[in-house]
């Protein structure tokens, strides 16, 4: 895959996630946020886009980068890819990357904390 194509797809997801984050930051962070349909839509948008960013980076960007560096093997698991990227200092922490993924999948309320550092 061409790196420019990967960038263009990710850029779209980042722009939409940024819009959702901007809206989330304007919301009062309390329990009622999960009762208002508009708030739920915005939070869902962020979770969806963040998940798509992670998936696309994991499936396309990271293998492409490692391949360009001569470090990619098609037999590498996602965890192997993350560990290699960490060793090459391309990402800070493979554990943090996987942690964000678990938070977004299992705890929507904690996803708001992820949005604040996004």
Query: Could you identify the residue written with the tokens 């990967």?
Result: 6
pLDDT tens digit sequence for 14-63: 999 999 999 988 888 777 777 889 888 998 898 899 889 988 998 899 99
Four-point Cα dihedral 5, 6, 7, 9, nearest 10:
90
CA distances from 67 to 9, 43, 49, 53, 71 (A): 19, 35, 25, 19, 6
pLDDT tens digit sequence for 52-73: 998 899 889 999 999 999 999 9
Which residues constitute the domain of residue 9? 3-117
Catalogue the E-assigned strands of 16-76. none
How far, in Å, CA of 94 to CA of 37, rounded? 34
Residue 105 has pLDDT above 90, yes or no: no
DSSP 34: G
pLDDT tens digit sequence for 80-92: 999 999 999 999 9
Q: Specify the number of domains making up the chain.
A: 1
**pTM reported for the whole predicted model:** 0.73
């Amino acid at each position: 895959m061409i790196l420019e194509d990967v960038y263009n797809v990710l850029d779209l997801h980042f722009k939409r996630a940024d819009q959702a984050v901007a809206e989330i930051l304007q919301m009062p962070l309390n329990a009622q946020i999960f009762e208002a349909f508009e708030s739920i839509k915005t939070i869902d948008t962020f979770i969806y886009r963040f998940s798509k960013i992670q998936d696309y980076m994991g499936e396309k960007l990271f293998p492409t980068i490692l391949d360009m560096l001569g470090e990619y093997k098609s037999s590498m698991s996602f965890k192997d890819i993350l560990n290699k990227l960490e060793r090459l200092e391309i990402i800070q922490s493979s554990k943090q990357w996987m942690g964000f993924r678990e938070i977004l999948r299992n705890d929507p309320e904690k996803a708001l904390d992820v949005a604040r550092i996004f």
